[in-house]
C-alpha cells in the first residue's frame, strides 16, 4: 500500500515504511504525552531571566511585586504558601482592611497583582540561591531553577513555641503577640501575660492600656527586680511562678490555664511574645548581615548589606503588622526599580 504526501516531501509516492522512517521524529513528537509537553514548556519558562525575583508572596512580597509590575519590570514571585499568620482569624489595624481574614486580604492582593502582565506568581519552596557574576540563580524543592538580576527576600520569620499542650492550637487566636493587632478585641478581659525579667515587665506594662485584669506568668522562678515586683503589686497584678502544664481551649479559644502543681485559672486571653528564627536560611546563605536581634539588616530603602538584594516584611523588623509589611514591600519595590534605572541609565 502506498500513500500520497504533500509537495513539501517532493511530491513523490512513498511506502508506509519510508514515510515513517523519514517523518518518524515528527510523529514521535506529536505522540508525546501531555505531561512531557508541559515539562518542556516549563523548562522554557525556567530558563527565562527576570528583572527581579521575589522570594515570599505574602503581604510584603506582593506589595513589592505590585510596585515593580507598575514599573514595567519582569518579576517572578515564589511563595511556599505558609504565612506565619495563617491561623489568625482576623487582621486588624490595617486601614480599609480592618477585621478581614488574612486569607481574604491575601486573595485580593494576589488578584490585584495578577492584573500586571509582567508579574508572575508561582507556588514553590525556594531551597537554595546563589549569586553568579551579575545575576542570581534560585533553586526550588521541585528542581526548578530561575535567574534574576535582583532579589527581594520577603521570607518572614518562624515563631518558636513552647512545648505546652494547647499552646500551638491557640497561637494567633487567643494566645497573642501584639496588642496593636488584637488588644481591642480582648479589651477589659481577664488576660495573662507570659514573660519574665525586664522584657516581661515592660511588655506587661504595655498591656495595662487595654485591661486592668492582668496576671503575669513567669513560667518558672521570677527574675523580676524587687522594685518591679512592688510596681506590679501596686497595680494589683499577681505574679504566678508555677510552670504551665497545658492550655484548655475550644477551637483555639482559651478557657483555662492548667499548672504543673495541679491548679488552674480561668483566662480569656494570653499574651506570649516569643523568640523567633528566620523562616528561611537564604539571607544567611547569600551573605547578608543580621541585627543583634536576628533580623536581616537593611537600610531605610530596604537594601541589605549584599548588593542587589533587598529584604522586607517580618524578617527585618519587630513591627509585625500587615500595614507595615505592605509599606516595606512597596518601598522595596520602588527603591529597587530606582536602583535599576540608574544602573541602566
Helix H segments across the chain?
16-31, 34-46, 59-69, 102-114, 167-170, 179-182, 197-207, 226-234, 282-285, 322-344
Distance CA 181, CA 185 (A): 9
Q: Alpha-carbon distance 150 to 147, whole Å?
A: 9
What is the pTM (predicted TM-score) of this model? 0.83
Q: What is the pLDDT of residue 28?
A: 35
Residues 54 and 337 sit within 8 Å (Cβ to Cβ):
no
Query: What's the rounded Cα separation, in Å, for the pair 291 and 47?
Result: 35
The per-residue pLDDT for range 145-181, each reduced to its tens digit, is 999 999 999 999 999 999 999 999 999 999 999 999 9
Q: How does pLDDT run along the chain (345 residues), one tens digit per residue?
A: 433 333 433 333 444 444 334 444 433 333 334 444 444 444 444 557 899 999 999 999 999 999 999 999 999 999 998 777 777 888 888 888 888 988 899 999 999 999 999 999 999 999 999 999 889 999 999 999 999 999 999 999 999 999 999 999 999 999 999 999 999 999 999 999 999 999 999 999 999 999 999 999 999 999 999 999 999 999 999 999 999 999 999 999 999 999 999 999 999 999 999 999 999 999 999 999 999 999 999 999 999 999 999 999 999 999 989 999 999 999 999 999 999 999 998
Domains annotated on the chain, with CATH: 2-31 (no CATH), 45-159+276-344 (3.50.50.60), 167-271 (3.50.50.60)
Judged on CB neighbours under 10 Å (0-12, 13-18, 19+), 6 is exposed
Amino acid at each position: 500500500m502506498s500513500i500520497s504526501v504533500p509537495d513539501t516531501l517532493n511530491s513523490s509516492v512513498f511506502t508506509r515504511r519510508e514515510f515513517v522512517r523519514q517523518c518518524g521524529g515528527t510523529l514521535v513528537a506529536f505522540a508525546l504525552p501531555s505531561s512531557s509537553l508541559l515539562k518542556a514548556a516549563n523548562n522554557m519558562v525556567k530558563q527565562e531571566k527576570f528583572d527581579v525575583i521575589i522570594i515570599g508572596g505574602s503581604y510584603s512580597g506582593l506589595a513589592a511585586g505590585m510596585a515593580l509590575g507598575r514599573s514595567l519590570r519582569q518579576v517572578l514571585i515564589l511563595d511556599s504558601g505558609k504565612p506565619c499568620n495563617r491561623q489568625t482569624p482576623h487582621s486588624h489595624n490595617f486601614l480599609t482592611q480592618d477585621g478581614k481574614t488574612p486569607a481574604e486580604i491575601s486573595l485580593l492582593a494576589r488578584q490585584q497583582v495578577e492584573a500586571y502582565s509582567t508579574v508572575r506568581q508561582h507556588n514553590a519552596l525556594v531551597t537554595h540561591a546563589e549569586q553568579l557574576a551579575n545575576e542570581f540563580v534560585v533553586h526550588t524543592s521541585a528542581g526548578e531553577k530561575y535567574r534574576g538580576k535582583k532579589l527581594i527576600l520577603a521570607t518572614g520569620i518562624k515563631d518558636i513555641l513552647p512545648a505546652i499542650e494547647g499552646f500551638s492550637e491557640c497561637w494567633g487566636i487567643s494566645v497573642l503577640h501584639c496588642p496593636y493587632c488584637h488588644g481591642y478585641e480582648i479589651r477589659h478581659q481577664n488576660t495573662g501575660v507570659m514573660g519574665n525579667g525586664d522584657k516581661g515587665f515592660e511588655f506587661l506594662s504595655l498591656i495595662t492600656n487595654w485591661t486592668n485584669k492582668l496576671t503575669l506568668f513567669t513560667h518558672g522562678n521570677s527574675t523580676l527586680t524587687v522594685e518591679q515586683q512592688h510596681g506590679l503589686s501596686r497595680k494589683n497584678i499577681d505574679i504566678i511562678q508555677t510552670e504551665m502544664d497545658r492550655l484548655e481551649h475550644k477551637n483555639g479559644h482559651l478557657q483555662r490555664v492548667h499548672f504543673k502543681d495541679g491548679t488552674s485559672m480561668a483566662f480569656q486571653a494570653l499574651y506570649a511574645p516569643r523568640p523567633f528564627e528566620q523562616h528561611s536560611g537564604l539571607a544567611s546563605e547569600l551573605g547578608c548581615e543580621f541585627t543583634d536581634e536576628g533580623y536581616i539588616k537593611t537600610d531605610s530603602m530596604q537594601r541589605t548589606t549584599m548588593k542587589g538584594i533587598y529584604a522586607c516584611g517580618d524578617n527585618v523588623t519587630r513591627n509585625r503588622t500587615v500595614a507595615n509589611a505592605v509599606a516595606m514591600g512597596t518601598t522595596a519595590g520602588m527603591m529597587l526599580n530606582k536602583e535599576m534605572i540608574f544602573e541602566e541609565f
